Amino acid sequence: MRVALTTVVLVAIGVILVMMVAEMPEFGAGKPASNEVSAHYVKNAVKETGASNFIAAIILDYRAYDTLGEVIVLFAGIAAVLVVLDVHKGGRGR
């Protein structure tokens, strides 16, 4: 029963992935949107964010959500490490 369920779920995920690959543009065809985005950053980042280091402009302005997630991941990782170390030492966690 479990094997059958797992097979069905995995096949479904596989089909979805193959469908996503089929949706992709052909290799080398047209003008991928990613090129336009990077060209936009190079051209407008300083003007739009006021930060002359435009790596900072990208990670903290255009993709600030991503960096927020990164900070939260860092926080969660450190919190887990601290809890495990504390319990290992016989403490009750902080």
Partner 1 sequence: MPDKILREITSLLLPFIQMYGIYVVFHGHLSPGGGFAGGMVLGVSLVLYILVFGLDSCLRKIPHHLSSALESFGTLWYAAVGFVGLLRGASFLMNKGAGIDVGTPGELFSGGLIFIITIGVGVKVASTMLSLFYTLVEED
Residues that bind partner 1 (CB under 8 A): 46-53, 55-57, 59-61, 64-65, 67-68, 71-72, 74-75, 78, 81-82, 85-86, 89-91, 94
Q: Which is nearer to partner 1, 41 or 46 (CB)?
A: 46
What token pair was written down for 65? Answer: 């959500």
Query: 59: phi > 0 → left, psi -120 to 50 → alpha, else beta; which?
Result: alpha
Closest approach of Cβ 45 to partner 1, in Å? Answer: 9
Total number of residues shown for the chain: 94
Closest distance of CB 85 from partner 1, Å: 5
CB of 93 to partner 1, least distance (A): 11
61-85 as b/e, with b when 16 or more CB fall inside 10 Å?
ebeeeeeeeeeeeeeeeeeeeeeee
13/76 with CB nearer partner 1: 76
Q: Rounded to 5 degrees, what angle do the CA atoms 24, 30, 49 make?
A: 90
Q: How far is the CB of 39 from partner 1 (least distance, A)?
A: 19
Chain center to CA of 60: 14
Q: Which residue, 38 or 44, has its beta carbon nearer to partner 1?
A: 44
